[in-house]
Structure 1
Amino acid sequence: MAEVTERNQGKVSRRQVDKYAERRAQLASSTLQTLAELGYARTSLREIAQNSEFSHGVLHYYFRDKVDLLTESVRQYEAACVTRYDEVVETATTAEGLRGGFAEAMTTTLCADALMHRLWYDLRNQSLFEETFRADVLEIDERREQMIWRVVTTYAELCGLPPAISSSMAYTAFDGLFLQALMHHLAGRDDAVAELDANVRATLTRAVLPTA
């Protein structure tokens, strides 16, 4: 009887933990737009509460501070981003199809989610000064690098050639192109999207070795 009671208590405890984590994820997702609009420096739990449907008390119960909420929110968004590029990789049947699909995915997210990406770069820059969430940023950054590397290695396979660059080089190249395009896009440059499209296609082409 005692063992049954202990197992039941364990199930209840796990359900409570799962429910708590689910609620954190929901709150992080719901406040993401507010975070993206305010940025790191102008963000506090109270400020987020004033610009969302949730009270300060609710946010404070589920998150230690703005760093905790900010990190969880970016995790939610980055998970969706990784899925978006993975779909391009999984559905591509030719090298040219993958190259075009990847470029289109990059330009689409630039136009549709500029503020969200601005939030990510804000968080990444702040991690140079804020040690409290540096580990989380490095983890997210690693997942982003793996995402890009899947594109490059799949493209290389479809070309029948080996990659000409390393994983870190590929990530640095595409991330740099996207960051530059984001800055130009936010500054109102009309050619930012077309330039990113051309640069992504050219860089992916150069990412594989020519035949000897």
Structure 2
Amino acid sequence: MPRPSNTEARREQIVAGLLKAMAERGYEGASVAEIARAANLSAGLVHYHFKDKQEILLTLVGSLASRARQRFATRTSRLAADDARGRLDAFVDAFLATGPDSDVAAVSGWVTISAEAIRQPEVRVAYEAVVRADLEQLESLVAAVVGKRRARPLAAGLFAAIQGYFVLSASAPGLVPPGSAAGTVKRMAAGLLDAAGPLVRDDA
């Protein structure tokens, strides 16, 4: 894999700085000076690579989405291609499981992004694009188990549970027993899918 250019590396450093600054001060409090401090760079370098704070935030949306998708890809690489239930569990684990690749700051950052999506139309567009793509992927995973006709409402419910855990863990972490989120949602998924019945071949 080629090494990132100095510009790419600097941009990634700045985006990571925003994530750190938001965890400490929220988006409003994450000034360019605070982002620069968190990234161990000068404010001038931040301004050189990004026109404003919103552009950094929009880049962070894509960065966090890529992290979750990479976790999913890593988990599914160990599964058989026809392991539909395993792939669905891997999706839930990629978003919620604790472990060496978990990222509390990323979860908190995603909750902040969802709040900014309500306030800023440009952020809403980027946020909706990521959520739509992730929900469509989850729907396809559910469809592999129960068929297309029944997949959408089940996928929407599971995705809402995932997003709800994000909010709880970021805003009221003491309410969520440590390490419980992924297991609970996987049990919810199993119950919903079993209740829906086996895959109906003519609706796949």
The TM-score range, normalised by the shorter chain, is: 0.7 to 0.9
Counterpart of 2:114? 124
List runs of 5+ in structure 2 lacking aligned partners.
none
Supply the distance in 2 between the matched residues of 1:198 and 1:143 (Cα, whole angstroms).
Answer: 23
CA contact (8 A) 2:23 2:105 kept: yes
Shift of 1:95: 4.3
Equivalent position amino acid for 1:148 in 2: L
CA deviation string 1:16-65 (max 9, x = no partner): xx958625642344425414413312212111112221110000111111
Equivalent position amino acid for 1:173 in 2: G
Counterpart of 1:141? 131
Shift of 1:177: 1.5
Counterpart of 2:47? 60
Tell me which stretches of 4 or more aligned residues in structure 1 moved more than 4 Å: 18-21
> Which of 146, 155, 159 is equivalent to 1:175?
159
Shift of 1:210: 1.2
Counterpart of 2:62? 75
RMSD: 3.1
List runs of 5+ in structure 1 lacking aligned partners.
1-17
Shift of 1:73: 1.9
Supply the distance in 2 between the matched residues of 1:86 and 1:35 (Cα, whole angstroms).
Answer: 29
CA deviation string 1:144-169 (max 9, x = no partner): 22332343244x1xxxx414221xx4
CA contact (8 A) 1:82 1:147 kept: no
CA contact (8 A) 2:36 2:42 kept: yes
**Structure 1 residues 48 and 133, CA gap change in structure 2 (3 angstroms):** same
Secondary structure of 1:91's aligned partner: coil
Equivalent position amino acid for 1:42 in 2: G
> Which of 29, 37, 46 is equivalent to 1:50?
37
| Structure having the higher Rg | 1
What is the number of equivalent residue pairs in this alignment?
A: 187
Instruction: Give the fraction of aligned pairs with identical amino acids, expressed as a percent.
Output: 16
Secondary structure of 2:164's aligned partner: helix
Supply the distance in 1 between the matched residues of 2:137 and 2:14 (Cα, whole angstroms).
Answer: 23
